Amino acid sequence: MYNEIDNRPRISPPTLLAAGAGLGVLMIGLAVVWIAAIQGRDLAALFPPAPWGLLAAGILAGAGFAAVQWVLFRRTALLRAEVAQFEQVIDFAALRWYHVAVLAMLAAVPEELLFRGGLVPDAGLIGAALLFGLAHALSWRYFVYASAAGMVLGLLMLWTGNLWAPIAAHAVIDAIILTLLVRRRPAGGW
Predicted confidence (pLDDT) per residue in 91-108, tens digit: 988 999 999 999 999 999
Domain carrying residue 63: 51-184
- Taking each helix axis from N to C end, the angle separating 164-184 and 52-75, rounded to the nearest 10 degrees, works out to 40
**The pLDDT of residue 186:** 60
Residue 160 has pLDDT above 80, yes or no: yes
Split at pLDDT 50, 70, 90, the class of 141 is confident
Residue 88 lies in a domain: yes
Residue 11 lies in a domain: no
Split at pLDDT 50, 70, 90, the class of 119 is very high
**The pLDDT of residue 81:** 79
Residue 99 lies in a domain: yes
Residue 144 lies in a domain: yes
Residue 16 in contact with residue 90, Cβ under 8 Å?
yes
Count of Cβ atoms closer than 10 Å to residue 22 Cβ: 11
Residue 146 has pLDDT above 60, yes or no: yes
**The pLDDT of residue 84:** 83
Domain total in the chain = 1
